[in-house]
Amino acid sequence: MRWSPGDRGNIEDMRGRTGGRVATLGIGGLLLVLALSWLTGTDLFSLLQTSPDQSIDTVGSSGSTPSTPAEERTVDFVDAVMGDAQKTWSQLLGSRYRPTRVVLFRDAIDSACGSAVSATGPFYCPSDQKIYLDLGFFDELSQQFGAPGDFAQAYVITHELGHHVQNLLGITEIAQQDRRSGPNSASVALELQADCLAGVWGHAASQSGRFQAGGVELEPGDAEEALRAAASIGDDRLQRMATGRVMPERFTHGTSAQRVEWFRRGMESGRPEACSISTSSY
């Protein structure tokens, strides 16, 4: 991808002020809980929470972990992708679009949607309309899930921004009335639509000349990175990694094949209308 640093107006840097309080786990344990939480539809991280009067360890830097030049470049990258994607959605939705920010944190944070740790993965919080991201997730995306590359990272960011678009359009509120899990649930429909909406931005970013105009521009091979990322975090693959078997009744995000299909749908069309989902049954 071709991009250039901006003024970081699209991020809220909380890396030195994180303070979520959870029981200490090694990275292997965190990954396991992450996968199981995603795939069972149960917030297993709540089981790690302790009451205020209990002795606990705090996972969080509180400024103790210094940043590196590589991490600062990633911060600039997140800001550039968010800035470009938000310009795209402003053009597509007009006055219906309201800008948001990515809240960067390290290890743990208290969000408007509750406490979260890095192993929760990136998430969108409808309560404050912000995206939360620990940059360490990108390392896990590459090393644990086999999806390296900057456009794979951009896919993660713009997928969460897709949830913001859904919230602004009222789709989230309608779909959340359905509390089911499984392949036909509203949860799966929302996640697949967010994949498609990420693809809509990818289509815009694939247009030549955008870098010269100050935007993000894709290069050959970038689309394949995003497709690998989509395939790497399908419910079926993550369930198989976590438990050795696939449980469709506990799907919350869709299969790897579905996630690839819906991202490609948005990428090839470039039209939000191509991402429509039925909400008549929710």
- Residue with the bigger pLDDT between 279 and 70: it is 70
Mark 249-279 as b/e (b = at least 16 C-beta within 10 Å): ebbbbbbbebbbbbbbbbbeebebebbebeb
Beta strands (DSSP E) in 61-161 are 102-105, 108-111, 114-117, 123-125, 130-134
Q: Is residue 1 part of a domain?
A: no
Q: Per the structure block, which two tokens stand in for 157?
A: 């960011």
Would you state the pLDDT for residue 279? Answer: 53
Give pLDDT tens digits for 144-201: 888 889 999 999 999 999 999 999 999 988 877 777 777 888 889 999 999 999 999 9
Q: For 47-61, 113-127, 137-151, 258-272, which range has the lowest pLDDT when averaged over its residues? A: 47-61
Would you state the pLDDT for residue 55? Answer: 29
pLDDT at position 62 over 70: no
| Cβ contact 205:280 at 8 Å | no
Between CA 15 and CA 215 the distance in angstroms is 26
> Element (H or E) spanning 12, and its range?
strand 11-13
CATH at residue 140 = 3.40.390
Would you state the pLDDT for residue 64? Answer: 52
Residue 127's pLDDT band, with cuts at 50, 70 and 90, is very high
Ramachandran quadrant class, 20 (left: phi over 0; alpha: psi -120 to 50; beta: rest): beta
Q: Annotate 189-251 with DSSP letters as a single string.
A: HHHHHHHHHHHHHHHHHTSTTTTTTTS-B--TTHHHHHHHHHHHT-HHHHHHHHHSS--GGG-
Distances 80 to 14, 75, 129, 215, 217 between C-alpha atoms, Å: 18, 9, 19, 8, 11
Give pLDDT tens digits for 255-273: 999 999 999 999 999 999 9
Residue 74, domain extent: 11-275
Count of structural domains within the chain: 1
Would you state the pLDDT for residue 83? Answer: 97
Q: Which residues pair with 11 in a beta bridge?
A: 102
Q: Is residue 112 part of a domain?
A: yes
